[in-house]
Amino acid sequence: MNRLNEQAQGVYVIALTPFTETGELDLDSTDRMVDFYLERGATGLTVLGMMGEAQKLTIEESRTYVRRILRRVDGRVPVVAGVSAAGFAQMQALTTMVMDDGAAGVMIAPPSSLRNDQQIVTYFRQAAEFIGDTPFVLQDFPLVTSVTIPVSVIQAIVDEVPTCVCLKHEDWPGLSKITALRKLSDAGESRRISILCGNGGLFLPEEMARGADGAMTGFAYPEMMRDVVHFHRIGERDRAQDIFDAYLPLARYEQQPGLGLAIRKYIMARRGAIATPALRKPGGALSPADIADIERLVARQENRLKEIG
């Protein structure tokens, strides 16, 4: 049985939610996308995340979508589901639903109303009570949540809540936070949990060097993350960085607030991973100039990858 734990590593791809041109769930594309991710090195998938248009689905659609993902994955890698919700009862219901269907764990981001250390610790303690023994990922994403979680608070949560097994690190970029957390666990002062990094992978080489275990993000070229993690692991840090640098111009372009998801879907459709780049309303739309930018960056990226071999 796949159950998320402190050893999570590699590349947990934040999965897209494919739609048809008319805005329906595209389940065939969902299958194809799962294969695409796994063939390119995903060691896990994360669904219903902020960049997965989760908030645009009804509960019934969420269930249909997650079940389809789980069936296609068929136990090959663990699947984590975002269950952040306005209330604990909803979070609990969503957790029960996805865990019953075979998910490996859930992911929880703090609500933006939290404003001090004690509120944050209390929130995660209460959330953990509601979801029982389900292992969870603590999503630390201040740019979106506007909640800043200091190292001491993460440590307090890890100490008090044994089901917190992983940190989705996207305190932008917060390299020193990784360093501090690893120092604490190396010194035996805190349980060592998995740290997987977000932010579109834009700081992945440096994050790996600080002690991260991998990536949890959705850049349309998962092979970049796979290779950076791999070459870092085997000590070839320059090789890791060469590959990263080749993808960086496009990764940077994809990481634009507001437009990023439309760009990501465009590339995924272009690569054949999904049938169409359609977003559900409200969603950004690419202009011809945007598409020209992407095509140019993709062509340059391919050239550069050939150059570095």
Q: Is 249 in the site for its own copies (CB under 8 A)?
A: yes
Sites for its own copies among residues 276-295 (CB under 8 A): 280-282, 287, 289-290, 293
Q: Is 270 in the site for its own copies (CB under 8 A)?
A: no
* Annotated binding-site residue? 224: no
Answer yes or no: are the C-beta atoms of 35 and 72 closer than 8 Å: yes
CA 239 to chain centroid = 24
Q: Is 17 in the site for its own copies (CB under 8 A)?
A: no
**Angstrom distance (rounded) from CA 257 to CA 284:** 10
**Angstrom distance (rounded) from CA 225 to CA 10:** 8
Q: Is 308 in the site for its own copies (CB under 8 A)?
A: no
Question: Would strands 10-14 and 79-82 be described as parallel, antiparallel, or unpaired?
Answer: unpaired
Minimum CB separation of residue 233 from its own copies in Å reads: 18
What DSSP letter does each residue of 217-245 carry, written as one string?
A: E--S-HHHHHHHHHHHHTT-HHHHHHHHH
Question: Would strands 105-108 and 79-82 be described as parallel, antiparallel, or unpaired?
Answer: parallel
Minimum CB separation of residue 219 from its own copies in Å reads: 14
> In the numeric block, which tokens belong to residue 281?
């309303």
Minimum CB separation of residue 5 from its own copies in Å reads: 27
Sites for its own copies among residues 140-159 (CB under 8 A): 142, 146-150, 152-153
Q: Is 22 in the site for its own copies (CB under 8 A)?
A: no
> In the numeric block, which tokens belong to residue 229?
């993690």
Q: Is 122 in the site for its own copies (CB under 8 A)?
A: yes
What x-and-dash track marks residues 192-231 binding its own copies by CB under 8 A?
A: ----------xx--x--xx---------------------
> In the numeric block, which tokens belong to residue 55?
């908030």
User: What separation in angstroms does the CA of 269 have from each of 17, 61, 65, 214, 264?
Assistant: 12, 21, 18, 25, 9
Binding site: residue ranges?
216
Where along the sequence are the contacts to its own copies (CB under 8 A)? 53, 55-61, 86-90, 92-93, 115-119, 122-123, 126, 142, 146-150, 152-153, 172-173, 175-176, 179, 202-203, 206, 209-210, 238, 241, 244-245, 248-249, 252-253, 256-257, 259, 280-282, 287, 289-290, 293, 300, 304
Binding site for pyruvate: residue ranges?
216
